Amino acid sequence: MTDLQQLIDGFLENEFETSPVVASGLGLTEYDHRLDDLSAESFENRDADAAEWLARFEAIPDDGLDADGRIDRDLAIAMLRGRTITADWQGWKRDPLTYTSPALGGLFGLFLHRLRPEAELVDAAIARLEQIPRALEQGRENIDPTLAHPLIVERGLASAKAGGRYVRDLLPNEVTDPEAQGRMREAGATAGEAFDAWVQHLDTVRQEATGEWRFGEERYTRLLREKENLPYDARSLRQRGQAEYDRLDAEMRTLCLEARGTEDWRAVLHEANEDHPRTEEEMRVAYADWTERARVFLEETGLVTLPDGERCVVEPSPVFQRPVIGVASYMSS
């Protein structure tokens, strides 16, 4: 085993121990019963770990690495540089979703993938439900109104409200056995009380929050160059975006004049926007229809290669995700 492979194995093992919800989502079922440690000490340790792992990956020379090895090393370096750049931002003191998302996503993912028999999934879900009060209490201790921005807190507040409903009323319906449903409802009731307290706390934080949402030009420039490996700084990227917008604006004016006799493409789009589904269910059906049309087009034209057994299913998003992501999102299953 090469030094790089040993380093990667050690890094991934540390990642999975630190973020068991992520590990579980990747199919490592031995982590299914665990919820992340979201304490201040844990976040500070992660930042310190990132700097240490970065130094170790940067010390691996090109000599002896094939193309795949260089890609793996450079990918790890880019990711870890991103963590070190954002460490001083302390997002875990600013965003309530830091605590809500793993708690709820860790439950949703179990029943999305269903990699184990139902009885084992129920045991894992209950174990995670029982850890939710601890995770949200850590959030209460960590969120700082002097750093948090009211709009970011408000977004997290909406997700937390939906989270209480999810663990109480919706999650138990994922299982068929009546006894298991009862156990899930009991554990969900306790977790729901923790969400109620979390919601009350966030409402207070929202009213007191005086923090900043701007990430900062220098920090964003470093992310572009050191994590994303792009040649731009924040200012030149904005200039490129503006140039592309101006080009597209001119093209839209020309096309709109040819099609509708006016250059005011914005007005035409506003008019077109009135043609939309009027209910959530109509929207889901429309998404499913157009998704299937697009898939058939790809299959018929061979524009992309569809893997054997591939399928795309349009499902309602979980209630706790709707305040955060307002459009269709994608996940593997």
pLDDT tens sequence across 279-305: 989 988 999 999 999 999 999 999 998
pLDDT computed for residue 58 by the predictor: 97
Residue 183's pLDDT is 97
Q: What's this model's pTM, rounded to 2 decimal places?
A: 0.86
Q: Is residue 96 a contact partner of residue 233, using CB atoms and an 8 Å limit?
A: no
Residue 161, domain member (yes or no): yes
Last residue of a domain, one of 193, 217, 241: 217
- Report pLDDT digits (tens) over 35-81: 999 999 999 999 999 999 999 999 999 998 999 999 999 999 999 99
The phi and psi torsions of 267 (rounded to 5 degrees) equal -65, -40
Nearest-10 crossing angle of helices 118-142, 178-208 = 20
For residue 285, the enclosing domain spans 281-333
Picking from 211, 200, 188, the residue whose alpha carbon sits closest to that of residue 140 is 200
Report, in angstroms and rounded to the nearest whole number, the Rg of the chain calculated over CA atoms.
23
Do 77 and 45 sit in the same domain of this protein? yes
Angle of CA points 23, 323, 138, to nearest 5°? 50
The percent of residues above 90 in pLDDT, for the chain, comes to: 87
Residue 253 lies in a domain: yes
Report pLDDT digits (tens) over 216-233.
999 999 999 999 999 999
Q: Are residues 240 and 258 in the same domain?
A: yes
In a domain, 225, yes or no: no
The 8-class DSSP code of residue 223 comes to I
**Is 130 among the domain residues?**
yes
Q: What average pLDDT score do residues 304-326 get?
A: 82
- Give the helix/strand (H/E) hosting 282: helix 280-301
Q: Quick one: 331 and 236 in the same domain?
A: no
Q: Are residues 238 and 295 in the same domain?
A: no
Q: How confident is the model at residue 331 (pLDDT cuts 50, 70, 90)?
A: low
Q: Would 226 be classed as within a structural domain? A: no
| Residues 64 and 96 occupy one common structural domain | yes
248 and 293 in a common domain:
no
- Structural domains counted in the chain: 3
The least confident of 29-38, 233-242, 310-319 is 310-319
Q: Which of these, 97, 191, 200, lies nearest to 139 by C-alpha position?
A: 97
Residue 222 lies in a domain: no
Question: Are 210 and 290 in the same domain?
Answer: no
Do residues 150 and 95 make contact, with C-beta atoms less than 8 angstroms apart? no
Query: What are the tokens at 42?
Result: 């844990």
Tokens representing 133 are 């009060």
Residue 223 lies in a domain: no
Q: Are 14 and 80 in contact (CB under 8 A)?
A: no
Q: Are residues 78 and 183 in the same domain?
A: yes
Same domain for 249 and 105: no
Lookup: tokens for 187: 């554990």
Whether residues 257 and 181 share a domain: the answer is no
The reply to whether 123 falls in a domain is: yes
Please check whether residues 30 and 132 belong to one and the same domain: yes
Specify whether 84 is located in the same domain as 168.
yes
